[in-house]
Chain A
Amino acid sequence: MPDKYHIKTQPIPPRRPRIGKVGVVDWREDCANCHNCVKKACVFDRYREEMSYIRGLREMDAVFFQCMGCFSCVQQCTKGLLALSANPVYERLGNTYWTPQIIETTWTQAESAKIPVSGAGYRGRFSGPGFDSMWTDMSEIVRPTRDGIHGREYISTAVDIGRKPALLHFDAGNAASGLPPLVDIPMPMIIDMLPRGYRLPNLLPVIKIVAAQTGIIAVIDSKDWQLAGNDLDQYLPNLAMYLDTSAPLPGRELLIGMRLVEISDDGNAERRVHELKQINPGIVVAVRVELDSGGIERAVEYARQPFVEVLHLVADDNGNEIGEKKPRFIKDMVRSVHNSLVESGIRNEVTLMAGGGIALAEHMAKQILCGADLVTVNLPLLIALECTLCRDCNDGLSCPAKIGEIDIKYGVGRMTNLIAAWHDQLIEVMGAMGIREVRRLRGEVGRALFFEDLEEATFGKLFGSRKNN
């Protein structure tokens, strides 16, 4: 049996107290001190844990929020003194896109490396904006394979990054032109640069190890390169340098070691590619296209150029079109680039990486269904380190999560756990879809259900046109 892609993980507990969704409000006055205190009866033993937690505190740093929200103590207290309340700290986590639920589940995955599992049915809204307006399909009988308990063992998540020629030319039986270089990574994910403002100097050494351990690639800005540490040689295959317009060409020894490099989409892109290829013909060059109002057109235009191998389409942190009042969402923008490349018959020749707003494992699967070959991820890895996206660091304030002080083992462990959990979840949805290779998931809208289409085909037929609200 060939080697399977497997990410080694181990549980990495959080450094800070957990922030739960609900807390218990306890009016101790009027307590009858009865001997059958419901606190002793807590099924999850939370009160005892809270006591020992508080006992161990040197300073009051946070409130203990480990309540599971079952209401049993509230409903059983002899005097009815207990109440549950929404935790305001929890509700302040993140922002409207990076919701408290997203932050919480990211933390859990970064701790345990496991697929989050819970009881009871789905609790959320019927559908929503962005990635919530689509579902992945499943198949009643089609499986990836007939083997294995679930067939999951045989699902491949590997992708190739680079240009794939539509046809090969032969000259007297020999290939007339060499094959363009390809980078293959075991999972359709690349670690993108953190947004400016979040680029803490101690994160790059962590990220480079994570990329190497998981076999994926991390993009690092050439301006920050020095921060990644001195021992970069062994990590070069898992690093991709980003060169913006003004960045000088990196040294030969770096370029020889790297497999992927990324450049900005200014007018010099073609010249840049040639310069880079001259030093290392085996390197793959990605062109980073920021998805602003003209982003889609530029991307499609680039894809037609023979020198372009990979396009990295980047929306803003929330997956929105950059700088627009009524922005389109990343999944729709990538879908439109994908579709127009399909129409021109050149989709297979370029690789599309898409980033911005990829917050959950399901977004990875959905983005690929909408036409990306792979996704790029940044903020979730930061959230894995217990960041709450409070943006204090952007304003020059000190980080409440003290991310500047983390040790390497913690950082690497948490990020690796998150990536492993995402990988497992990707396999889970692919298993349900009956798709054996993530390469085939790309643009496979036959395995996706879109809110608009379903509404139109069912309610639209019955009830007329949908109101815009």
Chain B
Amino acid sequence: MASSLVPEKIIKEGLPDSTLETVVPQAEVQRVIKPAPPRYRNEIAKYIIRRSADCKLCGKCAEICPQGVHVFKPGYKYFAAPHQSVCIGPACKDTGHYCVDLCPNKALRMVENPMMRVLGDYRWTPDLILATWKMAETGAPPPPDYGYEYECGNSGGGFDRIRFKFPASPPLELGPDDIDTSLQLNRRNDGRPQIKIDVPWYGGGMSYGSVSNVTQLSKARAAVAFNTFTCTGEGGYMERLRPYDDHTITQVATGLFGVREETIQRVRIVEFKYAQGAKPGLGGHLLADKVTPSVARMRETVTGISLFSPFPFHSVYSIEDHKKHMDWIKHINRHALVSAKVSTPSDVDMVAVGSYSAGAHIVHLDGGYGGTGAAPDIAKKNIAMPIEYAIIKVHDFLTREGVRDRITLIASGGLRNAHDIAKAIALGADGVVVGTGELVALGCLRCARCESGRGCPRGIATTDAELQGQYTVEWGSQRIINLYNAWRIELVEILRRFGMRRVSELRGRTDLLMHLDYSNDTEQAR
């Protein structure tokens, strides 16, 4: 198959090498973990302490609480608003400083926050949201004390029912520094650059228009810090992203909004978006209200008019057309790797092999339950299969075709944390793309209002001048860096428990997994 490709040296006739060099000095972002406290005044806590009128204002609770939940400032008559979100909840009972028991007047009561019922959903449980916030704040997995059940969601299937079978003790004692989480993206051996990212994930495509440029820049800076990538999505390539060219993937999607040869030449990876998991087969849709003057300028369209990306590429109706497309990009940018982002139809395995033969370096599967800034509800729930199935199918098929080690398989569509990432890799992916997790780090709580009116009320998925000013790039990048760091710590811990030196050893190790709804008695499961 590979031999059917046009030899690299023939393509090289096209453009002089100099056009391909990065001309803008690239930004450096250090991988420094520092606290990035939440940006809202009142945090949402899992447990809250209620204070009754029996309180005699003795101040004992403030004295004993090591977390500093109760705030009794000297010189003040009453307690200030408590820092509910640092309270570790019922786990505190055995610590010897449980305020509820120690209050001399029995004036305190601990309850689970009733708001937890309205926060989150089956896929992103309230615990998962709070834990992600905590990780984005501290840069480390939340201490078990908090009692967050954040390793799984509550959707009742797929990743949420799959568990790792950890050995009682690691077969090989490794320290965190002995473990390599990097991922090689080019396996074709076609003379194009070897690109290695430090963590087996990169940021999903979010266009300027669907999210603010503060959000885009925050993602980009985190990508630099972790030597990985972010993606422009389909909405043009902001000039302000230029210092992050080396860590940016630019997307060529069906609407070709903001795609120019010059933008394709800026980057090291170009992604073809054939379909998006949240709305497979439907194309993109940016609602009129979000087409602000700056978005319209970027996309070379008209302010206030809804934008549709058609489906599919009208120039692609076969694998041969697909190859022609790839060759076009490879010709324009002779150093770039090419990724094909596809959805998960029943023939996703054939699509993946087709992408390989057309010359893709990366095939990126976006499962049916993936994120979006706006999609018809009927599409989100019903079209195409969840990513869990697709990974298994594609990994198997590529292996049987004998090309598994010549293409990088990336999965996305509902991967929420390090455990999902590890499970996706164990099912057969090389790495993953994350999106919603980053937004949650920025303060998203999945209220699903990204598309309404001026856009996201939390200032993340909006281009409204007022709303997007709710946080700074500095804060945003620190939150995502912290989240990435926490995920990396968790991933390393998973690998350590299996005694694995490299994340690549985990790939396809379905024998290390079990499914709670199954007998788990197959040959490999034992």
Interface string of A11-46 (1 = CB under 8 A from B): 000000000011000000000000000000001100
Q: Is A330 in the interface zone, CB < 8 Å from B? A: no
A201 lies within 8 A of chain B by Cβ: no
Contact A123 B525 (CB under 8 A): no
- Interface status of B203 (Cβ within 8 A of chain A): no
Q: How many Å lie between the Cα of A449 and that of B387 in the bound state? A: 13
Residues of A within 8 A of B41 (CB): 75-78, 80
Q: How far is the CB of B73 from chain A (nearest CB, A)?
A: 16
Is B89 on the interface with A (CB-CB < 8 A)?
no
B312 & A143 in contact (Cβ 8 Å cutoff):
yes
**Which of A52-60, A220-228, A428-436 forms part of the interface with chain B?**
A428-436
* Chain A residues with CB below 8 A from B392, complex form: 458-459, 461-462
Given contacts A86-B117, A462-B524, contact A432 B281 (CB under 8 A): yes
CB distance from A91 to the nearest CB of B (A): 10
**Interchain CB contact under 8 A, B436 and A121:** yes
A290 to chain B, nearest CB (A): 28
Interface residues of A in 129-175 (CB under 8 A from B): 135-143, 146, 149-150
Q: Does B449 sit at the interface, judged by CB under 8 A?
A: yes
Q: Given A71-B44, A75-B41, A117-B451, check contact A463 B520 (CB 8 Å).
A: yes
Q: Is B157 an interface residue (CB 8 A)?
A: yes
Q: Does A401 touch B at the CB level, under 8 Å?
A: no
In this complex, the interface size class of chain B, counting residues with CB under 8 Å from chain A, is 35 or more
Interchain CA distance A158-B312 in the complex, whole Å:
25
Q: Name the residue among A43, A70, A136, A467 with the largest chain B CB count within 10 angstroms.
A: A43
Cross-chain contact B458 with A72 (CB below 8 angstroms): yes
With A119-B372, A125-B156, A462-B510 as contacts: A135 and B461 at CB distance below 8 Å: no
Determine which of B115, B311, B377, B467 lies in contact with A116 in the assembled complex, contact meaning CB atoms within 8 Å: B377
A77 to chain B, nearest CB (A): 6
Tell me whether A467 and B518 are in contact (CB under 8 A). Answer: yes
For B142, what are the chain A residues with a Cβ–Cβ distance below 8 Å? none
B518-A463 in contact (CB<8A):
yes
In angstroms, how far is the closest chain B Cβ from the Cβ of A340?
A: 24
- Least CB distance from A47 to B in Å reads 13
Chain B min CB distance to A118 (Å): 5
**Chain A, Cβ-Cβ closest to B318:** A141
Give bound CA distance, A83 to B200, whole Å: 39
Contact assessment for A463 and B522 in the assembled complex, using a CB-CB cutoff below 8 Å: yes
Q: Are B453 and A43 in contact (CB under 8 A)?
A: yes
**C-alpha gap A84/B457 in the complex (Å):** 16
| Residues in chain A near residue B370, CB distance under 8 A | 121
Min distance, Cβ B1 to any Cβ of chain A, angstroms: 19
A125 x B157 contact (CB < 8 A): yes
Q: Which residues of B contact A21 (CB under 8 A)?
A: 118
Write the nearest CB–CB distance from A365 to chain B, whole angstroms.
Answer: 8
Interface residues of B in 361-404 (CB under 8 A from A): 368-386, 388-389, 392-393
| With A75-B41, A123-B122, A429-B379 as contacts: A137 and B115 at CB distance below 8 Å | no
Query: Which one, B14-22, B25-33, B440-448, is touching chain A?
Result: B440-448
Q: Which residues of B contact A360 (CB under 8 A)?
A: 378
Task: Kindly state the separation between the CA atoms of A460 and B345 in the bound complex, as whole angstroms.
Answer: 19
Interface stretch of the complex, out of B143-151, B190-198, B214-222, B272-280: B272-280
Alpha-carbon gap, A146 to B321, bound state (A): 14
User: Is residue A465 within 8 Å, beta carbon to beta carbon, of the partner chain?
Assistant: yes
Q: What 0/1 readout, one digit per residue, does chain A (429-453) give for beta carbons within 8 Å of chain B?
A: 1011110000000000010010000
Chain A residues within an 8 Å CB radius of B517: 459, 466-467, 469
Q: Which residues of A contact B456 (CB under 8 A)?
A: 119
The answer to whether B447 touches A68, judged by C-beta atoms less than 8 angstroms apart, is: yes
- Cα distance A458–B387 in the bound complex, in angstroms: 11
- How far apart sit A360 and B373, CA to CA, in the bound complex (Å)? 23
Inter-chain CA distance A464–B118, complex, in Å, is 37
A residues in contact with B283, CB < 8 Å: 150
* Structural contact, A43 and B445, CB atoms closer than 8 A: no
Known A43-B467, A428-B282: A119·B450 in contact at CB below 8 Å: yes
Q: Which of A80, A84, A86, A142 contacts B81 (CB 8 A)?
A: A80
Partner of B525, one of A79, A431, A462: A462
CA distance A208 to B402 in the complex (A): 62
**B368 near A140 (CB under 8 angstroms)?**
no
Within 8 A of B (CB), among A371-385: none
Q: Please state if A138 and B378 are interface contacts (CB–CB under 8 Å).
A: no
User: Could you tell me if B42 and A75 are in contact, using CB atoms closer than 8 angstroms?
Assistant: yes
Complex CA–CA separation, A217 to B157 (angstroms): 40
B282 / chain A contacts, CB cutoff of 8 Å = 150, 428, 431-432
Q: 1/0 per residue A209-243: CB within 8 Å of B? A: 00000000000000000000000000000000000
- A72-B447 Cα distance, complex, nearest whole Å: 11
Any chain A CB within 8 A of the CB of B519? Answer: yes
Interface size bracket, A side: 35 or more
Chain A residues lying within 8 Å of B316, measured Cβ to Cβ, are 141
* Interface assignment of B406: CB less than 8 Å from any CB of chain A: no
B residues less than 8 Å from A251 (CB atoms): none
Whether the Cβ atoms of A466 and B518 lie closer than 8 Å is yes
Distance (whole angstroms) from the CB of A89 to the closest CB of chain B:
14
Write out the residue numbers on chain A whose beta carbons fall within 8 Å of the beta carbon of B514. Answer: 463
Known contacts A43-B467, A457-B393, A466-B517; A123/B446 CB under 8 A: yes
B123 touches A123 (CB 8 A): yes
State in angstroms the CA–CA spacing of A360 and B447 once bound together.
Answer: 22
Q: When the two chains form their complex, are residues B447 and A70 in contact, meaning their CB atoms are under 8 A apart?
A: yes
Give complex CA distance A21, B449 in Å. 13
A361–B379 Cα distance when bound, in Å, is 11
User: Of all chain B residues, which has the CB nearest A150?
Assistant: B310
State the Cβ distance, B123 to closest chain A Cβ, in Å. Answer: 6
**CA A125 to CA B125, docked complex, whole Å:** 11
- Assess A137 versus B384: contact at CB under 8 Å? Given A75-B44, A425-B376, A429-B378: yes
Q: Is the CB of A84 within 8 A of B118?
A: yes
CB-defined contacts of A124 to chain B, threshold 8 Å: 121-123, 155, 381
B351 interface residue per 8 A CB criterion: yes
Residue of B280, B281, B448, B454 near A119 (CB, 8 A) is B448
A179 interface residue, CB < 8 Å from B?
no
| Residues of A with C-beta under 8 A to B524 | 462
**Chain B positions within 8 Å of A123 at CB level:** 121-124, 446, 448
Q: Are A120 and B436 in contact (CB under 8 A)?
A: yes
* A394 interface hit (Cβ, 8 Å): no
CB of A282 within 8 Å of the partner chain: no
Instruction: Provide the residues of chain A in CB contact with B377, threshold 8 Å.
Output: 105, 115-118
Does B378 contact A74, Cβ atoms closer than 8 Å? Answer: no
Residues of B within 8 A of A431 (CB): 281-282, 311
A106–B119 Cα distance when bound, in Å, is: 23
Beyond A462-B525, A463-B522, A464-B522, is A119–B373 a contact (Cβ under 8 Å)?
A: yes
User: Which of A78, A86, A126, A454 has its CB near the most chain B CB atoms (within 10 A)?
Assistant: A126
B351 touches A428 (CB 8 A): no
Please indicate which of the listed interface residues B371, B377, B517 has the most CB atoms of chain A within 10 Å of its own CB: B377
Q: B-contacting residues of A (Cβ < 8 Å)?
A: 21-22, 43-44, 68-72, 74-80, 83-86, 105, 115-128, 135-143, 146, 149-150, 360-362, 365-366, 425, 428-429, 431-434, 446, 449, 454, 457-467, 469
Chain B interface residues toward A at CB < 8 A: 40-44, 81, 114-115, 117-119, 121-124, 155-158, 160-161, 274-275, 277-278, 280-283, 285, 287, 308, 310-312, 314, 316-318, 321-322, 342-343, 345-347, 351, 368-386, 388-389, 392-393, 413-414, 436, 444-454, 456-458, 461, 467, 510, 513-515, 517-522, 524-525
Given A83-B115, A119-B373, output 7 extra A-B contacts at Cβ < 8 Å: A44-B449, A117-B377, A117-B451, A138-B343, A459-B392, A463-B522, A467-B519
Interchain residue pairs with CB less than 8 A apart (27):
A69-B447, A83-B114, A85-B118, A86-B117, A116-B378, A118-B374, A118-B450, A118-B451, A119-B373, A120-B447, A122-B381, A122-B414, A126-B122, A126-B161, A137-B346, A140-B342, A143-B311, A361-B378, A362-B378, A428-B282, A429-B382, A432-B379, A459-B515, A462-B510, A462-B525, A467-B517, A467-B518
9 closest A-B pairs by beta carbon, nearest first, are A119-B450, A126-B157, A432-B281, A75-B40, A138-B281, A463-B518, A123-B121, A464-B519, A70-B457
